[in-house]
Each structure stands twice: as structure tokens, then as C-alpha cells.
């Protein structure tokens, strides 16, 4: 299932040839620096199957991020429902990414994430898209800013699924992008009120 293509990239569902890459990005200490666990081969395989099934049934999930010419998987970038009661509204959708380290620094995540925001707003009519990261995860926060997301004022939170054994990973910052017409209407209203 192809979701979309950009100049250099393809976002699609996962296939069996992607297993090694999926295992790699779930066990690499640099990729997983801001996560409290690494996954075994079996755990990564089970998660990939779960994500693939979710994409097939809902059209949302963490899509395989692949080279457009070779179809080699580089990592993932996707839109997925997220449940964080009391932190995010019901039916909230997050945008997230993870890339094998050998592909870092080439702008792949930014390119894919920009296209996904547009897809989420225009094709899926999602009113708001959220992203969050450990407050010291400067690489991910920089991507959020580059794709036009804004930090939610007073939105920082302690992630309820981060165990107390990893206190340095608990505090997260929260970013949001609004459906473009809502943003334009708010800007227009601000100008009128001045």
C-alpha cells in the first residue's frame, strides 16, 4: 500500500524485506537514545506486524520510509492515533519518525514529515496533528520546528508510559500543527482584533 511519494522518498506499508531495517532501528542505541527500551528481533517483528496491520485497516500508522528509486526502507515516518488522556484530546493523531543512523543528516525526515502533514490535513481532514519528544531530544524538536509545528504553551508533560527507572526520559515537550484553514482564520481574526 503506497501512501504518498515525495521527490526522493516513498511512504508505504511495510513488507517482509523491511524486517532487518525494522529490527535495526528498534535496537540501535543511538536511534533509541530517548526510549526506555530496545526490542529483540521477536519483539520488533511483532511490532512491525502490528503496525502493518494497522496501516492496512485504518490507513494510519508509522509507514515505512523508503528510497523512491530503490524502495529500500530507511526508517519510518507516519501519522498514528495516540491515546494520552488528560494530555491530548480524544482521537488525537501524532506524527512521528525514526531513521537508521546511516541515513541521518540528509533531510529525509523533514521531507517526509512535511508531505505527511499536508496529507493528514488535505486527504484525511485531521484538524490537529501533534508531536512530542523528550525535552532534550534536540534533533526531533528541530524537525518539528522545520515542518512548521509550534510548541504548545504550557504543554510539557511527564509521559505516563515512561517507567520511573528512566526519570531523564519522562519530561516531554508538545508541539502541534493545525489544519491550515484554522490557522489562517486565527491569523485573520488576530489582524481584525488589532
Q: Which residues pair with 49 in a beta bridge?
A: none
Instruction: Look at the chain and report how many structural domains it folds into.
Output: 1
Q: What cell was used for 60? A: 494510519
How many CB atoms neighbour CB 73 within 10 A? Answer: 25
Q: Output DSSP code: residue 179.
A: -
Question: Is 11 within 8 Å of 64 (Cβ atoms)?
Answer: yes
- Cα 165 to Cα 100: distance, rounded to the nearest angstrom: 26
Q: What cell was used for 47? A: 511490532
- Cα 162 to Cα 40: distance, rounded to the nearest angstrom: 19
Q: Quick one: pLDDT at residue 178?
A: 96
Q: Quick one: pLDDT at residue 188?
A: 42
Q: Quick one: pLDDT at residue 130?
A: 98
How many CB atoms neighbour CB 161 within 10 A? Answer: 8
Q: Quick one: pLDDT at residue 1?
A: 85
pLDDT in tens, the chain (194 residues): 899 999 999 999 999 999 999 999 999 999 999 999 999 999 999 999 999 999 999 999 999 999 999 999 999 999 999 999 999 999 999 999 999 999 999 999 999 999 999 999 999 999 999 999 999 999 999 999 999 999 999 999 999 999 999 999 999 999 999 998 654 544 444 333 34
- Cα 98 to Cα 74: distance, rounded to the nearest angstrom: 9
Question: Is 48 within 8 Å of 75 (Cβ atoms)?
Answer: no
Q: What is the CATH number of the domain that holds 91?
A: 3.40.630.30
Q: Output DSSP code: residue 152.
A: P
Domain range spanning residue 87? 2-193
Q: Quick one: pLDDT at residue 183?
A: 46
Q: Which residues pair with 65 in a beta bridge?
A: 11, 75
Report yes or no on whether pTM surpasses 0.85.
yes
Q: Quick one: pLDDT at residue 193?
A: 36
Q: Quick one: pLDDT at residue 192?
A: 34
Amino acid at each position: 500500500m503506497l501512501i504518498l511519494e515525495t521527490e526522493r522518498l516513498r511512504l508505504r506499508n511495510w513488507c517482509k524485506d523491511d524486517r532487518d531495517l525494522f529490527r535495526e532501528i528498534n535496537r540501535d542505541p543511538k536511534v533509541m537514545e530517548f526510549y526506555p527500551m530496545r526490542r529483540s528481533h521477536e519483539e520488533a517483528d511483532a511490532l512491525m506486524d502490528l503496525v502493518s496491520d494497522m496501516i492496512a485497516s485504518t490507513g494510519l500508522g508509522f509507514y515505512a520510509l523508503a528510497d523512491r528509486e530503490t524502495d529500500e526502507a530507511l526508517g519510518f515516518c507516519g501519522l498514528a492515533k495516540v491515546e494520552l488522556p488528560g494530555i491530548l484530546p480524544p482521537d488525537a493523531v501524532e506524527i512521528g519518525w525514526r531513521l537508521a543512523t546511516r541515513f541521518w543528516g540528509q533531510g529525509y525526515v523533514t521531507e517526509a514529515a512535511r508531505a505527511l502533514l499536508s496529507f493528514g490535513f488535505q486527504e484525511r481532514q485531521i484538524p490537529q496533528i501533534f508531536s512530542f519528544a523528550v525535552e532534550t531530544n534536540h534533533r526531533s524538536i528541530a524537525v518539528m520546528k522545520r515542518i512548521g509545528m509550534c510548541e504548545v504553551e504550557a504543554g510539557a508533560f511527564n509521559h505516563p508510559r515512561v517507567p520511573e527507572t528512566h526519570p531523564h526520559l519522562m519530561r516531554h515537550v508538545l508541539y502541534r500543527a493545525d489544519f491550515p484553514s484554522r490557522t489562517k482564520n486565527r491569523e485573520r481574526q488576530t489582524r481584525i482584533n488589532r
